[in-house]
Amino acid sequence: HSHATFQHILPFFPPLTMAWANHSVVTEFTLAGFSDGPDLREVLLVVFLTMYLINLMGNVGMILLIHCEPRLHSPMYFFLSHLSLVDISFSSSIIPKFLLSLVAGSRTISYAGCLTQFYFYVSFGTAESFLLAAMAYDRYVAICNPLRYTVVMSRALCLCLVASCYATGALNSAMHTGAMLRLSFCASGTLDHFYCEGKLLFALSCSDTSINNILMHVFVSCIVITTSTATLLSYGRILATVLQTRSPGARRKAFSTCTSHLSVTLLFYGSVAFMYMQPGARRSAKLDKVASLFYTAVTPMLNPFIYSLRNQQVRDALSGVRRECHRHQGRL
């Protein structure tokens, strides 16, 4: 009875009508993944599970370290803790489903599950782009205007910047997901990928996807160009300031801090730009999967190690934690 009532009120809500119509025709998609071979499937399971567990342990460890260590209670590490949170969320929107498909041997994903995955990875991917730009601005203020750093990078501004990153990601993703709901999928199909990638979903639709393609290309281009330009401008000013610094120690410390962030930034923006900003005619399914692997699994896994290995304050905090652990073990 409730099912009939829901269908009765659908005509008064066109977006719901379209979503219901699509879902009634297409209930699931198939994710091709990387290969059909059972031997390779076992290798992929071990590799992806290892990367995902390292990602979780590294980023959760970084969040806990920053939260518990008073020396790391500064704007730079506040942003870094949120980068770790975004990395965990971004990977978790994609990797667990892929691992489940490798274990169960079933590559299908429901229509609702596909749209949910699409929403969350676009949301957290967008948030990470803006968060990296905010971190670059923080380093610019710290190195180029050190006397005004605590005034400029106030707690209120840091909270506002982080909230804006999350809000921009959520709004951008809601727009693309809403545009996806207007598409009709006349038959279930296979996505030649290991997650529900937007452009491949467009290819399976029997509706006109020109608006969706334009929206995705324009917004991805604007986000990548805007945030990467802001990041590069910040580091350009930082480089100019560092080269004028007479103290070798201060110069070395600035380079150590900034090169770690720049490495993370180049990995992320480079793989996203390769994935979404190249002409459609030149797209290669295998290269797309490799690029996606970098920004969904490899980069989130490497981030905490890049920051901890290249940052003296993080290394000192880790050494302090190890000393405390040894001290407690000695008492036991």
Where residue 307 sits, what CATH number does that domain have?
A: 1.20.1070.10
65 in a structural domain: yes
Environment class of 36 (CB within 10 Å of its CB; exposed 0-12, middle 13-18, buried 19+): exposed
What pLDDT digit, counting tens, does each position of 26-36 carry?
Answer: 778 988 888 66
| Secondary structure (3-state) at 151 | helix
10 in a structural domain: no
Do 72 and 314 touch, CB atoms closer than 8 A? yes
79 in a structural domain: yes
167 in a structural domain: yes
Mean pLDDT, range 263-280, rounded to an integer = 76
**DSSP characters for 268-305?**
HHHHHHHHHSS-GGG--HHHHHHHHHIIIIIHHHHHHH
Evaluate if residue 41 carries a pLDDT over 70.
Answer: yes
What pLDDT digit, counting tens, does each position of 186-244 carry?
Answer: 766 888 888 998 888 998 888 889 999 999 989 988 998 999 899 989 988 988 888 88
57 in a structural domain: yes
Total-model pTM:
0.84
Total structural domains in the chain?
A: 1
**DSSP characters for 23-71?**
HHH--EEEE--S-S-HHHHHHHHHHHHHHHHHHHHHHHHHHHHHHH-GG
Mean pLDDT, range 284-307, rounded to an integer = 84
* Alpha carbon of residue 44 to chain centroid: 21
Evaluate if residue 10 carries a pLDDT over 50.
Answer: no
What pLDDT digit, counting tens, does each position of 68-122 carry?
Answer: 888 889 999 999 999 999 999 999 999 999 999 988 888 899 989 999 999 999 9
What pLDDT digit, counting tens, does each position of 118-156 carry?
Answer: 999 999 999 999 999 999 999 899 988 989 999 999 999
Can you tell me the distance from the alpha carbon of 42 to that of 103, in angstroms, rounded to the nearest whole number?
9
Can you tell me the distance from the alpha carbon of 255 to that of 274, in angstroms, rounded to the nearest whole number?
27
Residue 108 pairs in a beta bridge with 30
Residue 326's pLDDT is: 64
Can you tell me the distance from the alpha carbon of 39 to that of 233, in angstroms, rounded to the nearest whole number?
47
18 in a structural domain: no
| Secondary structure (3-state) at 196 | coil
44 in a structural domain: yes
Domain extent, residue 222, equals 24-331
Q: Which residue has the tokens 């480079």?
A: 270
6 in a structural domain: no
